[in-house]
Structure 1
């Protein structure tokens, strides 16, 4: 299996359907979260909705690059979640995450392995390999937070 296909598989595992590392994934963890739970604040933690938005913000930003566009995302905007005030808005956010994740996987699968060693946008960001690995690690980090927040919410 090519390196790009292995990276795509690892990304898919954490976001959509894997159980290997954390015995869960984003889709599994978010599937039974109500919109009220998603926006419930446990000080000083981010909400589940904010973390969902945050991870999708970066996925969508990298998808844009993989599609040939510019890197337009900025860290300072990565938690600028519009208000979630209904089940429909929460479902829309989750569906956007699933769609962007599927697109990310598809685009990574198409990368030739030689592309993985190329500079990602600017030398300061390192290579495509480093950035895709970073996306996977970033997702696991926030998956852990979401899992813990869900446990805290169900204890209240």
Structure 2
């Protein structure tokens, strides 16, 4: 198996279908909650919707580079979630994330292994492999937060 296939599969595991590392993934966690739950604020924590937007923002931004575009994303905009005011809004956000994630994984898989060692946009960002692995690690970090926030929301609902 090519390195790019292995890395693409690791990315799919955290977002779409895996259980090996965290015993869950974004799709498992997010498809079972309502827009009300996704937008519930608990103290100073980010909402599940904000964290979902945040991860998708980076997936889409890096995907744009994979597809020949510029690196246009900026950290300061990564939590600029448009209002979620309905189940339809929530489902559009997560469906956009699933679509972007699948394209992202396919783009990695289609790369020649040698491209993993190429500079990503600018030398200061390191290689393609470093950026892809950072996306995977960043996704696991926020998946843990989402899982805990979801448990807190469901526990508070059960107490009512």
- TM-score calculated relative to the size of structure 1: 0.99
Question: Are residue 145 (structure 1) and residue 145 (structure 2) matched?
Answer: yes
1:83 maps to which residue? 83
| Residues 26-66 of structure 1: CA deviation (Å, up to 9, x unaligned) | 00000111000000000110000000000000000000000
Q: How many Å separate the matches in 1 of 2:6 and 2:71?
A: 24
1:98 — aligned with what?
98
* Alpha-carbon distance, 1:78 to partner: 0.2
Distance 1:145 1:3 in 2: 29
SS of 2:131's equivalent? Answer: helix
Q: Residue 130 of structure 1 corresponds to which residue in structure 2? A: 130
Residue 61 in 1 paired to residue 61 in 2?
A: yes
Matched, 1:45 2:30: no
Write out the 4+ residue segments of structure 1 that deviate beyond 2 Å after TM superposition: none
- Quick one: distance in 2 between partners of 1:18 and 1:87? 25
Give the CA deviation at 1:69: 0.5
Whole-angstrom CA distance in 1 between matches of 2:44 and 2:122: 34
CA distance in 2, matches of 1:81, 1:113: 35
Separation in structure 1 between the aligned mates of residue 155 and residue 21 of structure 2, nearest angstrom: 25
| Structure 2 counterpart of 1:154 | 154
Query: CA offset at residue 120 of structure 1?
Result: 0.2
Distance in 1 (CA, whole Å) between partners of 2:31 and 2:60 is 20
Q: Is structure 2 residue 6 aligned with structure 1 residue 6?
A: yes
Structure 2 unmatched runs, 5+? none
Structure 1 unmatched runs, 5+: none
Deviation (angstroms), 1:155: 1.2
Q: Which residue of 2 aligns with 1:20?
A: 20
Alignment of 1:99-118 (within 5 A): 99-118=99-118
2:36 paired residue number:
36
Q: How many residues align?
A: 156
Structure 1 residue 110: Cα displacement:
0.6
Distance 2:76 2:33 in 1: 26
RMSD of equivalent CA atoms: 0.4
